[in-house]
């Protein structure tokens, strides 16, 4: 079911957005050569406890997950692009790391993701990350009354295709509110003028993610982590956005 939020409810969602942004800022800053993925998860877990927030991930068990997730942040490294389950791995120089985090504060959820390079970057990794960020900005710009879901999707796809990246539509953006995942689904490819009309009060997570040389993925033996079939690297950018009568409101904007 698609729910529209009142202006007052959107204001109530701001603390969740600020908290999610702060966790991604802290974990991105902490990610360095030699740092273990489990340390990043522990940092996020401690920030949740300190803030009195609730994890959206630790007990999360959708049909595509092998078991409850059991951690509080997704850490996808190199050829992993989504749902990366934190495990005993020390980050190495040049790793491409995507961090995806969602939490509930006072009963409202926000969801966001960022990709970074640890240590010495590769030019092709920086280009991939920058493309996901530009695609996210394009999708956000299209998130306004009078447009439709397809306009967000097409704006994302236009950026990806201009850079030569193919697009997987199995996973994409989604509604956000009292729970992490809700309607509508927002694929990262679509057609202008198609799909649900966008109205003020709709709150969604917009999340382009691309792989360097494929759009095909498989599930790691851990039952969660999604990897490219050809070993190419992936990047992921995401914000929670409220559609208003004016400009889109990015609730998870990082300083």
Known binding site: residues? 83, 100, 111, 174, 181, 207, 238
Place of tokens 């649900």: 196
Binding positions for a divalent metal cation are 100, 111, 174, 207, 238
Task: Say whether the peptide bond before residue 184 is cis (omega within 30 degrees of 0).
Answer: yes
Binding positions for substrate are 83, 181
Tokens (6 digits) for 133? 């960020």
Tokens (6 digits) for 47? 């920030």
Q: Count of CB atoms within 10 A of residue 178's CB? A: 13
Paired strand residues for 222: none
CB-neighbour burial class of residue 49 (10 A; exposed 0-12, middle 13-18, buried 19+): exposed
Phi, psi of 125 (to 5 degrees): -70, -45
* Nearest-angstrom CA–CA distance, 39 and 58: 16
Residue 104 Cα distances to 13, 14, 53, 207, angstroms: 9, 11, 6, 19
Phi, psi of 239 (to 5 degrees): -140, 150
3-class SS letters over 3-53: CCCCHHHHHHHHHHHHHHHHHHHHHHHHCCCCCEHHHHHHHHHHHHHHHCC
């Amino acid at each position: 079911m698609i729910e529209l939020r009142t202006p007052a409810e959107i204001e109530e969602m701001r603390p969740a957005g600020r908290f999610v942004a702060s966790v991604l800022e802290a974990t991105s800053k902490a990610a360095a050569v030699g740092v273990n993925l489990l340390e990043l998860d522990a940092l996020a877990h401690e920030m949740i406890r300190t803030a009195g927030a609730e994890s959206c991930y630790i007990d999360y068990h959708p049909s595509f997950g092998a078991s409850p997730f059991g951690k509080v942040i997704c850490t996808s490294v190199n050829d992993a692009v989504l749902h990366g389950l934190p495990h005993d791995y020390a980050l190495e120089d040049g790793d491409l790391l995507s961090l995806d985090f969602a939490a509930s504060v006072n009963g409202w959820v926000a969801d966001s993701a960022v990709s970074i390079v640890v240590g010495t970057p590769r030019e092709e990794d920086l280009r991939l990350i920058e493309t996901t960020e530009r695609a996210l900005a394009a999708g956000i710009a299209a998130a306004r009354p009078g447009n439709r879901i397809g306009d967000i999707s097409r704006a994302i796809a236009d950026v990806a295709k201009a850079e030569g990246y193919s697009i997987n539509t199995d996973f994409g953006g989604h509604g956000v509110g009292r729970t992490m995942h809700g309607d509508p689904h927002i694929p990262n490819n679509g057609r202008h003028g198609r799909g649900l009309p966008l109205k003020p009060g709709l709150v969604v997570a917009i999340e382009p993610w691309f792989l360097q040389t494929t759009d095909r993925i498989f599930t790691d033996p851990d039952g969660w982590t999604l990897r490219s079939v050809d070993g190419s690297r992936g990047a992921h950018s995401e914000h929670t956005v409220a559609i208003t009568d004016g400009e889109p409101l990015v609730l998870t904007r990082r300083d």
